[in-house]
Amino acid sequence: MKKIFLIFSFILIFCNYSLAENIRVIDGDTIEINKEKIRFANIDTPEIKQICFLDSIEIFCGNLATIVLKAKIGQEIPQCKREGEDHYKRILAECFVNGESLSKFLVRSGYAFAFRKYSDKFIEDENFSYERWDYN
């Protein structure tokens, strides 16, 4: 399973995904639609330049989470349900593509974590991720 994960990761890194003109992916949990910054509520991804390790192998996990999000969005414009605003004046929202929560997808796939400090909304999805991937 680890080999499949690593192969998939490298394929994504070298693929070029283009997004619709009025959307920009800033990092794994922040997008911009029509110049409005939207932070995904209740999840957290590694920072864009953050490096993680899997069996002593360096993985650019922040960059990888960003690439996976870009690939998931593709040419779609996410539909976002506003939940508030953070102290950086970004909109906090849960965003969906074709009816699927981007946050839930990222957490279940192992690219994001439930932000337990603020909510328990995605904890079950995080547990699903741990069961799905072989981290040993």
Position with higher pLDDT, 135 vs 48? 48
CB 81 within 8 Å of CB 94: yes
Distances 9 to 13, 56, 69, 133, 135 between C-alpha atoms, Å: 6, 16, 12, 14, 15
pTM across the whole model? 0.80
Instruction: Calculate mean pLDDT across residues 14-38.
Output: 83
Question: The domain that contains 53 carries what CATH number?
Answer: 2.40.50.90
136 within some domain: no
47 within some domain: yes
27-52 pLDDT, tens digit per residue, is 999 999 999 999 999 999 999 999 98
135 within some domain: no
Q: Specify the pLDDT at position 41.
A: 97
Q: Specify the pLDDT at position 3.
A: 47
20 within some domain: yes
Residue at token pair 């953050």: 50
Instruction: Give the count of domains, the chain.
Output: 1
132 within some domain: no
Spatial separation of the C-alpha atoms in residues 102 and 66, rounded to whole Å: 12
90 within some domain: yes
